[in-house]
Amino acid sequence: MIELNISVKKGMRSTAFTLIELLTVIAVIAILAAILIPAISHVRASAHATKCVSNLRQMGVATSLYLTDNKSLYPTVNRWPQEIDTYLGSEWKSWKLGVSDSQNPFMCPSAEHESLTASYNQQLAYGINAEAVAGKTLQAVLNADPRRRVDTMVLYADCTTVNLWNWAPDRIPTHWHPKGVNVVYADLHAAQTGIDRMDHPGFATLLSGY
């Protein structure tokens, strides 16, 4: 019996972790976490940016239908969300009162609700180019300045309020997406533009379509 007890005790000792082994395991877990957490954050940010561009593409399609029904006039300042809402297949009143971000076509998944204008119940994360496009026909926009190009002029963009003006570049949240700001251009294609174009002169150029 004595020999058996000794054998069991020896077996138990051989399966126990030493302090060095335990510290090694902890160190390996910490290294893996340091590698994986930034990668997961990057994947999440990329997914959010993709969803945001998808929202803007839908808005571009909806605006195309709106133009057809409204004598080629772009949506108007302040009321543009209501005006294209019907063409998005959503209902303005329902999302304005508060639905999940994933169901709201006007909400960028990277948007910070507390930074958004209170006038839309913090449920609107895009703005329209009130400076040069809103409420005008495409022909009027181009006639105003022959240098303008519809494929480089912003129509909608990530924004903390409903309207974009060239004197207010701070309305563009350059930190929502790691690689740039998502926009719909006046020709209705959606894309991402570099953050370097969001300083005051560059921002004014985007709104003017130069």
Q: Give tens-digit pLDDT for 158-167.
A: 988 888 887 7
pLDDT in tens, 125-154: 899 999 889 999 988 988 888 888 888 889
Nearest to 172 by CA among 209, 130, 203: 203
| More confidently predicted of 72 and 91 | 72
43 within some domain = no
- Please count the structural domains in the chain: 1
Three-state DSSP class for 198?
helix
36 within some domain = no
**What is the DSSP pairing of strand 154-158 with strand 126-129?**
antiparallel
What is the pTM (predicted TM-score) of this model? Answer: 0.76
Domain range for 114 is 50-208
25 within some domain = no
| More confidently predicted of 33 and 5 | 33
19 within some domain = no
C-alpha distances (whole Å) from 203 to each of 30, 68, 199 are 42, 29, 6
